[in-house]
Amino acid sequence: MRGELDSSSRFVRRQWQRRLETLRPTLLWVVILGAAAFAGWVVFFSSWLAAAEVEVAGTRTVPAQDVIAAADVQVGTPLVRIDLTAVDRKVSAIPAVASVEVHRSWPHTVSVTVVERRPVATIRRAGEWWVFDAEGVLYRKSGVRHRSLAVVEFQGENEPAELREVAAVVTSLPAEIRAQMTRVRASSIDSITLVLRGGRQVVWGNAGESHRKVQVLSLLLQRPAAVYDVSVPEQPTTVARLRR
């Protein structure tokens, strides 16, 4: 009798073992799918990896709060669901911002790094002083002139292409020449003149061959003159005094 019970118990155990062996792959997939579903919930829907702050770097004149407001990141939104391209586009719309880099800093931060435009000259427009950068972009106005920047004077209406050309000339100048410059006059892209301290004029032409023109002008400035013409750097000329 006892032997029969032991034999029956062994049979039942073998039956359960065979069933478990059969169910093991299914159970394994259930565990994997459950873990994947849980991980997906954590990443896409839970607050465990949600945005809690916007971190701003690179600002000099633009208030960090303006960048945060422009980014318009909703606190509590899972980081993975935040549209970084949209954040980039919104922050780039700030006039003084030249470029933007946005990335997720896990677990709770959206990092925004901006590069601000740098002023190269100033221009008077509609009763206001505006500064523009190396790309010729007018991006900030003021009621007063920036004394450290040369004033640009245009004959007629200035176009973005003309501003870019003037900016290219100004940024090509070394610090020692730029420090002497008080004004930039332009009647067209090909007719740009620098006015230095003491009323001296430098006929520059356009931004072409600016590197070569700087080299020639540096040599010419060693002799007194009223006008230095480097518009054709291979054939520079000077005028001792202006005609009256």
pTM as predicted: 0.75
- Mean of per-residue pLDDT scores for the chain: 85
| Listed range (37-51, 63-77, 90-104) with the worst mean pLDDT | 37-51
What's the total number of domains in the chain? 3
pLDDT at 188: 87
- 132 and 90, same structural domain? no
> Where is the domain boundary, 74, 92, 116?
116
CA–CA gap between residue 185 and residue 169 (Å, rounded): 12
pLDDT at 70: 97
Q: Is residue 69 part of a domain?
A: yes
pLDDT at 2: 47
Model confidence pLDDT, tens digit, residues 49-73? 689 999 999 999 999 999 999 999 9
- pLDDT band at residue 243 under the 50/70/90 scheme: low
CA–CA gap between residue 184 and residue 195 (Å, rounded): 6
- 227 and 180, same structural domain? yes
Q: Is residue 244 part of a domain?
A: no
The secondary structure of residue 144, as a DSSP letter, is S
- 75 and 147, same structural domain? no
- pLDDT band at residue 133 under the 50/70/90 scheme: very high
What's the CATH number where 232 sits? 3.40.50.10960
pLDDT at 42: 42
Q: Is the pLDDT at 224 greater than 70, yes or no?
A: yes
Task: Show the domain range for 155.
Answer: 121-239
CA–CA gap between residue 2 and residue 7 (Å, rounded): 9
- 12 and 77, same structural domain? no
Model confidence pLDDT, tens digit, residues 180-208? 999 999 988 899 999 999 999 999 999 99
Model confidence pLDDT, tens digit, residues 78-91? 888 899 999 999 99
Q: Is the pLDDT at 231 greater than 90, yes or no?
A: yes
